[in-house]
Structures are given as C-alpha cells and as structure tokens.
Amino acid sequence: MVKILLGGSPCTYWSVARKSGREKQPSGMGWELFLNYKIAMEKFKPDFFLYENNESAAEPIKEQIAAELGVPLFHGDSSLVSAQMRRRIYAFNWQCEQPEDRGITLKDIIRTRGYWKDLHSDRYPVGMGYRNRREADGKLYRRFETSGAEKANALTTVETDSMIIEPYIHQNASLFKQKEFVMVQNGTYLHKGRIYNIALPNGDYIFRHFTQMEAERLQTLPDGYTAAASRTAARKALGNGWTADLIIHILKAGLAGVDRMEEIVVLSMYDGIGTGRYCLDKLGFVDVTYYAYEIEPTAIKIALDNYPDIIELGDAFQIRDPAWPAAPLASQPLLLSAT
C-alpha cells in the first residue's frame, strides 16, 4: 500500500486579488486552512505528499510553508503545459524538474466557429482580463491586462479576469452578439460611452468569456469534464482547480518507481473537482481508494460525476478531531487501516 496526501488550501486570504484584508503573515484564517493540511500530514503519515497554492502569497507565508512541510518550494507555471499563464507554488517530498514547454497557445484550445482557417497567422486570439481600479481622482476605471497573443491570463473564479478577444470576421457577424463587438483605433476603444486604452492593433474584435469547454482545456482537463454543472458554476470550479497536466508531470516524477497495480490510498484536502483522482487515473494507477475533503457542492458534483468511487468526507476542519480518523471515519475501514 502507498499513501498519498494531496491538497491546495484555499488562497482566498492570500491572493493579491483580494481587495482588502489580505493576509501577509503566517497567521489568520488562511494559515488555519493551511494548518489543516499540515495536521493531515502528521496524522495520515503519507509516503508522498503534494501541496499547492498561489504564487502571489506573501513571502513570509511561503517561507513558513516550506519550513512547516520541510521541503523547498517548487515554482511551477502552467504556461509550459497549457494555454494559460498560471504561476503556483508546490511543495512535495521528491525531486522534479520543470516540464518542457509544449508550445500550446490559445489558438490550440479555442472552440472554433469555422473561421480560424481563414485567418492569417498573425491574427491569433488574444487572452485578456480586467479588474476594477480606483485611481487618484477617485473614479473607478477598468484596467485591462492583455497577456499577449498566445496565452490567456490565469483562469480564476472571476470571469472578467480571464477572457478572450477574437478578430471580428464580418461575414460571420450573425454568430456573435452585438454587445461583444468592439472597434479598436489608435490603442483605444469605446464601451458604454467611455474610452479605454488597450494594447491591440487597429481593427474589429469580439470580447467574450471562455466557453465551458475552453476553460476545461485551459486546465488541461478533458472536454466535458465539468458537464455536470452549469457554465457559470463550472467556470468558478475550474478557476479554483489545478492545471491537470502540471500535476501529472509532478506526480509522475515522484511515483515513477511505484507499480501501477499497487494499492493507492489517497487523502485529498480541499479536493475541488477531483483533479487529483483524474491525474492518478491518467498515470495508469488502477487500484485507487480516494478520500476527499471538500464542501463546495458544485465541485463535489463534478468530481462524483467523473469518479463515483470518490469518498467525500466534508469539511477539512474535521481533521482536527482528536479521535481522527476513528471518529469521523468509523465507516471507512480502508483509511483506518492506512494509518
């Protein structure tokens, strides 16, 4: 039997996107969420562990995470294996090199509407996101952040943080809603009576959200993986999730010597949509018992739709029960035998 601990405590309190009350020291609710993972490691005693969080966490927090888990942090960027720029920190108890750049661009994952073959090579889709900013004059502006011609901004739970801009093909005008159309001239465009700056060549464009399928592809998950949820709910769940192919790359290095027929017992903290289960499946492990702590209903629904054998356990704070695992997991003999 091989025991694996997976997890990525919610980054809500640590992210630079937080408008107020961002935690910059290893204390507060964000740190308590991390400590659930640390407690799980102490109690479960895994053979392998993998932890993930946002690169934007403050340095004192990242330094303390490395100290608590006893390993250096691995700085991974999903742009090497996907069409999005998504920087994250990882902690695991094995060695792993950065993956090779697969050269995946937005053009590779866009759900085409039958006209990309007509575009010149210099007219790629452009990833874009915006966030509201209050400037010195007290007025609220939308600050657009273009990510270049090949990669999307990191997928988040906020749709406007990561969108898609496509060249507008007039003969296909009926495919689009008029509100999606903008005309860029001299680095500016007009929207609802206000002029915005944007780093795009002159021309006509469509501004739109990623489709559900495109968001799945940004996270390197199969088309239809989130079909059990609505587009909006799935988009949020995907924004909270892992880029599967980067996790697969990391796990492959750690589990290289483990027979694919070996019994695997997984404890997943803040499991989300079951990406960890998917990654082990893609790595070829066939005897996996997967225990997941997760409370978000949509995430659980998506996870179970893909892997009905996942054993959902609820709130991660249960790990602090002095009697764990006997009290909360009395009906789960496999996990009991693994401790």
Residue range 136-191, pLDDT digits in tens: 555 545 555 555 557 888 888 877 677 777 777 655 555 555 556 778 899 888 87
Average pLDDT over residues 128-132: 59
From 20-29, 147-156, 298-307, the region with the lowest mean pLDDT: 147-156
- 133, pLDDT greater than 90: no
Phi first, then psi, for residue 234 (nearest 5°) are -65, -40
Let me know the angle formed at the C-alpha of 250 by 232 and 258, rounded to the nearest 5 degrees: 120
The two beta strands, 181-184 and 203-209, are antiparallel
Q: Name the E strands within 149-193.
A: 163-167, 181-184, 188-191
In this prediction, residue 295 has a pLDDT band, given cuts at 50, 70 and 90, of very high
Q: So what's the pLDDT on residue 164? A: 77
Distance CA 238, CA 296 (A): 12
From 52-66, 104-118, 242-256, 304-318, the region with the lowest mean pLDDT: 104-118
pLDDT tens digits, 86-127? 999 999 999 999 999 999 988 888 765 544 444 433 445 666
Q: What is the DSSP letter of 84?
A: B
Residues of the chain above pLDDT 70, percent: 79
Q: So what's the pLDDT on residue 127? A: 60
The two beta strands, 263-269 and 287-293, are parallel
Q: So what's the pLDDT on residue 101? A: 96
Average pLDDT over residues 8-22: 82
Collect all residues with Cβ–Cβ distance below 8 Å to 185 and sequence separation of at least 6. Answer: 202
Collect all residues with Cβ–Cβ distance below 8 Å to 194 and sequence separation of at least 6. Answer: none
Burial 204-225 (b: 16+ CB within 10 A, else e): ebbbbbbebbbbbbbbbbeeeb
One-letter amino acid of 113? R
- Mean pLDDT score of the chain: 84
Distance CA 273, CA 220 (A): 13
Q: So what's the pLDDT on residue 298? A: 97
What is the side-by-side order of every strand in the sheet holding 203-209? 140-146, 126-134, 163-167, 203-209, 181-184
Q: Record the tokens describing residue 45, joined without a space.
A: 């005693």
Q: Record the tokens describing residue 240, joined without a space.
A: 């909270």
User: Are 54 and 260 a contacting pair, CB within 8 Å?
Assistant: no
Q: How many CB atoms lie within 10 A of CB 333?
A: 9
In this prediction, residue 132 has a pLDDT band, given cuts at 50, 70 and 90, of low
Distance CA 134, CA 144 (A): 13
Q: What is the DSSP letter of 263?
A: E
In this prediction, residue 300 has a pLDDT band, given cuts at 50, 70 and 90, of very high
Distance CA 331, CA 338 (A): 14
Residue 137 Cα distances to 133, 140, 219, 252, angstroms: 11, 9, 39, 52
Peptide bond into 125 cis (omega under 30): no
Which pTM was predicted? 0.85
- 278, pLDDT greater than 80: yes
Average pLDDT over residues 276-296: 97
Average pLDDT over residues 201-224: 88
pLDDT tens digits, 31-49? 999 999 999 999 999 999 9
Classified as helix, coil or strand, 335 is helix
One-letter amino acid of 23? E
